[in-house]
Amino acid sequence: MMYIKNTIQDFVIKFKTNDLNMGEIDFTAEENESSLPVNLNGEIRFFYSHLILNDHPTFYGTFFIQIVESQDLNEILSGWRVQNDTAWHDEYIIFAERNGDVLFCDTRNITSPVYGSIQKRNFIISGSLADFLDVFCSAIEIEQSKYDGDGTDDDFNFREDFLEDIDFMLKSKLKDVEAKGFKQFFFG
């Protein structure tokens, strides 16, 4: 649980360091269990019971995502839980959204593996929520510190060196199939 706690705290710090981010994210050491409308376990439960989320927290930049607040978990899931849909399970919990695509955890596993879903096509991004938060924060760190918050060139295409730096970081932290999933979700 220490690893997930550290990655969540880093996630909060990364959020607070970019003035362009909207909404609020705070870490609380006290478990905040009363506000969980869906059945959670493992790392995703830890995530929601130790974060205070307000005003649709949104990360700005290349790795733009909007974090789903706990009170909105049921609502966002309602559009995904379709009868006879074999690709979607009730144990999937959507925790972030990006232009209609989502990031979700599979709560059947205590590590809460993270998947991306683009137009309802699902693919693995990391073996745990902690691993996802770690690479997400590392990606933001690269974009902010090395590229001054912008990994694109004058024509708004991603810079080759930026993509190479992200690729190198992902390969050092994730399995190849997961790194591919991360890039598919954020870079198309």
Residues whose CB falls within 8 Å of the CB of residue 60, separated by 6 or more in sequence, listed in order: 18, 20, 21, 22
Measured between alpha carbons, how far is 58 from 20 in angstroms, rounded to an integer? 9
Contact 58, 15 (CB under 8 A): no
* Full-model pTM: 0.95
Q: Are strands 121-126 and 114-118 parallel, antiparallel or unpaired?
A: antiparallel
Sign of CA dihedral 74, 174, 60, 159: negative
Count of Cβ atoms closer than 10 Å to residue 186 Cβ? 19
Measured between alpha carbons, how far is 8 from 153 in angstroms, rounded to an integer? 31
**pLDDT (tens digit per residue) in 50-104:** 999 999 999 999 999 999 999 999 888 887 776 666 778 889 999 999 999 999 9
pLDDT at 153: 94
Average pLDDT, the chain: 93
> At residue 135, does pLDDT exceed 80?
yes
**pLDDT (tens digit per residue) in 13-42:** 999 999 999 999 999 998 876 667 788 999
